[in-house]
Amino acid sequence: MKILVYGAGVLGSYLAHVLVRGGNDVTVLARGKRAEELKRDGIVIRHYFQLKTTSDRVKVSQTLSPEESYDLIFVVMKFTDFPAVLPVLAENRSSNIVLVGNNTEAHQMQSYIKEHSRTDKNIAFGFQLSGGIREKDRMVAVRAGGQMVLGSLDGVVPFLPLLDKAFKHTKYKITVQENMDAWLKNHVIPIVPLNFAAFAFKGNFKKLARDKQTLQQIIGAMDEGFKVLEALGYPLIPAAQAKWIRQHRTLVYWFLKVYHRLPVAQKIDGTVKELEGLNLAFQGWKQRANVSTPNWDGLEKNFRMQAESGS
Ligand SMILES: NC(=O)c1ccc[n+]([C@@H]2O[C@H](COP(=O)([O-])OP(=O)(O)OC[C@H]3O[C@@H](n4cnc5c(N)ncnc54)[C@H](OP(=O)(O)O)[C@@H]3O)[C@@H](O)[C@H]2O)c1
Residue that is last in its domain, among 125, 154, 177:
177
pLDDT at residue 297 in the model? 98
One domain, residues 39 and 160: yes
**Alpha carbons 140 and 132: distance in angstroms, whole number:** 5
Pocket test for ligand 1, best of 4, 5, 10 (most atoms within 8 A of CB): 10
- Assign residue 142 the CATH number of its domain: 3.40.50.720
One domain, residues 173 and 26: yes
One domain, residues 165 and 194: no
pLDDT at residue 27 in the model? 98
One domain, residues 20 and 154: yes
One domain, residues 136 and 165: yes
Task: Report, as an integer, the average pLDDT of 191-204.
Answer: 95
pLDDT higher than 90, residue 310:
no
pLDDT higher than 80, residue 273:
yes
One domain, residues 158 and 70: yes
Q: Is-contact 276 189, C-beta < 8 A?
A: no
Give the number of domains in the chain: 2
One domain, residues 194 and 261: yes
Pocket test for ligand 1, best of 11, 62, 74 (most atoms within 8 A of CB): 11
**Alpha carbons 288 and 99: distance in angstroms, whole number:** 26
pLDDT higher than 70, residue 309:
yes
Q: Is 43 in the pocket of ligand 1 (CB under 6 A)?
A: no
Q: Is 101 in the pocket of ligand 1 (CB under 6 A)?
A: yes
pLDDT at residue 29 in the model? 98
Confidence of residue 311 (pLDDT cuts 50, 70, 90): low
Q: Is-contact 246 223, C-beta < 8 A?
A: yes
One domain, residues 150 and 246: no
Pocket test for ligand 1, best of 31, 75, 147 (most atoms within 8 A of CB): 31
Q: How many angstroms separate the most distant Cα atoms in the chain?
A: 56
Residue that is last in its domain, among 147, 177, 207:
177
One domain, residues 7 and 133: yes
Q: What percent of the chain has pLDDT over 70?
A: 99
pLDDT at residue 145 in the model? 56
pLDDT at residue 90 in the model? 98
Per-residue pLDDT tens digits for 61-107: 999 999 999 999 999 999 999 999 999 999 999 999 999 999 999 99
**Which of 133, 135, 139 minimizes the C-alpha distance to 53?**
139
Partners of residue 162 on adjacent β-strands: none
Q: What would the 3-class secondary structure string for 85-114 be? A: HHHHHHHCCCCEEEEECCCCCHHHHHHHHH
Closest C-alpha residue for ligand 1 atom 34: 7
**Alpha carbons 166 and 151: distance in angstroms, whole number:** 16
Structural domain span for residue 206: 182-310
Closest C-alpha residue for ligand 1 atom 2: 131
Per-residue pLDDT tens digits for 206-265: 999 999 999 999 999 999 999 999 999 999 999 999 999 999 999 999 999 999 999 888
- Assign residue 221 the CATH number of its domain: 1.10.1040
Can you give the pTM of this predicted structure?
0.96
pLDDT higher than 60, residue 144:
no
Q: Is-contact 63 32, C-beta < 8 A?
A: no
Task: Kindly give the distance from the C-alpha atom of residue 75 to the centroid of ligand 1, in angstroms, as a whole number.
Answer: 9
Q: Is 63 in the pocket of ligand 1 (CB under 6 A)?
A: no
Per-residue pLDDT tens digits for 45-56: 999 888 899 999
Residue that is last in its domain, among 115, 149, 177:
177
Mean pLDDT of the chain: 94
Task: Kindly give the distance from the C-alpha atom of residue 131 to the centroid of ligand 1, in angstroms, as a whole number.
Answer: 11
